[in-house]
Amino acid sequence: MSKKITFIEKGVCAPKGFRASGVHCGFRENHKKKDLGLLVSDVMCNAAAVHTQNKVKGAPIIVNRDHLKNGKAQAVIVNSGNANTCAPNGVQVARETCRLAADALGLKPDDVLVCSTGVIGETLYIGTFEKGIPRVVKKLSYDDSESMARAIMTTDKIMKQVAVSFMLGGKKCAIGGIAKGSGMINPNMATMLSFLTTDVAISREMLRQALLADVSDTYNQLYIDGDTSTNDTVAFLANGLAGNEEIDGPGENFDTFCKALRMVTESLVRLLARDGEGATKAIECHVKGAPTKQIARIVSSSVVGSDLVKSAVFGEDANWGRVLCAVGYSDADFECGNIDVTLESDAGEVLVCRGSTAVAFSEDKAARILAAEQITIHVDLHDGNKEASAYGCDLTYGYVRINGRYRS
């Protein structure tokens, strides 16, 4: 079995049997922006999803949890511009949206997932769906992942889609994904929607197991600001059309599947981090030498979530004391007397702290490193052999400007 995994085109349409589309139908005033997306499989899929941990949840999440009780789904319909959260009759509108989409596709309403993203607390009218669903169904294509990826964007500046190809048991397989998110992104999901597709035959339980494990190291390690959204959803559909022997337990095929999934989701998370609201730089913090993987996750998240660290990176100031400060207040148990900190980018790398104390370094070199668009902060705790990363961006004047007039 070849273990080679290759990046390919077409996003969620890369796996066999998936069609997608996106149109403008009136949720947003700007007619140049698509605001209704649709993803459909030719056959029923095993499905798994992870949702926000915010106690206030959008109406679509309530509906999706009900629809996913049997671990099955065949379509996803998504609108942007209105979150359908704390909205009058929100759940009724979400259910009716599923019914309208199901009728147009010849499916059962319970086999359709629904997602919304945008402003919280505004009424969402079913009439807009009634107008838009026939149009978005008509536009469905095996080659139009990009339209759906654009239809789910809100304050995003760039469209985000990724896909990979690999072999399982002599069968060519693929995993594809799209995502949206720019602000209101804090761990345990974010104003972030992501839809993943695969033609791999995999059981519901193993699909869910793969997604939960992956989310812990990717989507849940993404920090743009301190706000966790009400609508965050990652949904994964597997239709089995690749024809491989079904993955129904651990083993080499499952490991390859998880590795391919990680390539997709990590790439999407990096795109989300780079596209943070007002961001000029993406930040990754890689922690090694931790007693446990969970401690490495916590520490790396604390660093990229620090407003002071984010501001220092924006200002291209190698103020490593802010990094050590964020490491120190993280909610984890480890020794902190022998920590090294290194800054790295395409411009090179520089050690700025050794053994939790200052070292001589070139401020000019450090400034050149921090002037790059992708910065990695390496933290070595020297207290074990576990490692993890977290992803984020700098904090800029632009973030305040965007969120100061979000509803307009």
Q: Give dist(CA 182, CA 178) in Å, integer.
A: 14
> What are the distances in angstroms from CA 387 to CA 69, 209, 285, 348, 382?
34, 21, 11, 22, 11
Question: Are 251 and 302 members of one domain?
Answer: no
Question: Are 385 and 338 members of one domain?
Answer: yes
Q: What is the DSSP letter of 29?
A: S
Strand order across the beta sheet in which 282-290 lies: 222-223, 386-393, 282-290, 374-380, 340-345, 348-354, 357-358
Residue 1 lies in a domain: no
Binned at pLDDT 50, 70 and 90, residue 398 comes out as low
Q: What is the DSSP letter of 157?
A: S
Query: Mean pLDDT, the chain, as a whole number?
Result: 91
Q: What does the pLDDT read at residue 397? A: 74
> Looking at the predicted structure, is the pLDDT value of residue 402 above 70?
no
Question: Are 133 and 223 members of one domain?
Answer: yes
Question: Are 270 and 286 members of one domain?
Answer: no
Report the range of poorest mean pLDDT among 62-71, 175-184, 356-365, 387-396.
Answer: 175-184
pLDDT digits (tens, 9 = 90+) for 313-362: 999 999 999 999 999 999 999 999 999 999 999 999 999 999 999 999 99
Domain's final residue, options 243, 274, 305: 274
Residue 68 lies in a domain: yes
Question: Are 122 and 164 members of one domain?
Answer: yes
Question: Are 35 and 118 members of one domain?
Answer: yes
CATH number of the domain within which 357 lies? 3.10.20.340
Domain's final residue, options 223, 248, 274: 274
Question: Are 84 and 206 members of one domain?
Answer: yes
Binned at pLDDT 50, 70 and 90, residue 191 comes out as very low
pLDDT digits (tens, 9 = 90+) for 234-272: 999 999 999 999 999 999 999 999 999 999 999 999 898
**Per-residue pLDDT averaged across 386-391, rounded?**
96
Read off the pTM.
0.86
Residues carrying an active site annotation? 191
CATH number of the domain within which 119 lies? 3.60.70.12
pLDDT digits (tens, 9 = 90+) for 100-150: 999 999 999 999 999 999 888 899 999 999 999 999 999 999 999 999 999
Residue 66 lies in a domain: yes
Q: Give dist(CA 177, CA 234) in Å, integer.
A: 10
Question: Are 370 and 239 members of one domain?
Answer: no
pLDDT digits (tens, 9 = 90+) for 2-28: 479 999 999 999 999 999 999 999 999
Q: What does the pLDDT read at residue 190? A: 42
Q: Which ranges in 159-275 belong to alpha helices (H)?
A: 204-217, 252-274
**Residue of higher predicted confidence among 179 and 272:** 179
Domain's final residue, options 274, 294, 320: 274
Q: What does the pLDDT read at residue 197? A: 98
> What are the distances in angstroms from CA 233 to CA 115, 141, 347?
8, 23, 36
Q: Which residues are CB-neighbours of 272 under 8 A, at least 6 positions away?
A: 160, 179, 181, 182, 185, 190, 192, 222, 224, 391
Domain of 396, in residue numbers: 282-404
Question: Are 44 and 181 members of one domain?
Answer: yes
Structure tokens at 279: 């961001």
**What total number of domains does the chain contain?**
2
Strands 222-223 and 386-393: parallel
> Looking at the predicted structure, is the pLDDT value of residue 379 above 70?
yes
Which residues face 160 on adjacent strands? 179
Place of tokens 């791999």: 200
Instruction: Count Cα atoms within 13 angstroms, Cβ side, for 49.
Output: 32
Residue 160 lies in a domain: yes
Question: Are 46 and 69 members of one domain?
Answer: yes
Question: Are 266 and 368 members of one domain?
Answer: no
Binned at pLDDT 50, 70 and 90, residue 278 comes out as low
Strands 6-8 and 160-168: antiparallel
> Looking at the predicted structure, is the pLDDT value of residue 186 above 60?
no
Residue 109 lies in a domain: yes
Structural contact between residues 21 and 37, judged by C-beta atoms closer than 8 angstroms: yes
Q: What does the pLDDT read at residue 406? A: 55
Binned at pLDDT 50, 70 and 90, residue 189 comes out as very low
Q: What does the pLDDT read at residue 183? A: 45
Question: Are 176 and 266 members of one domain?
Answer: yes
CB atoms within 10 A of CB 103: 14
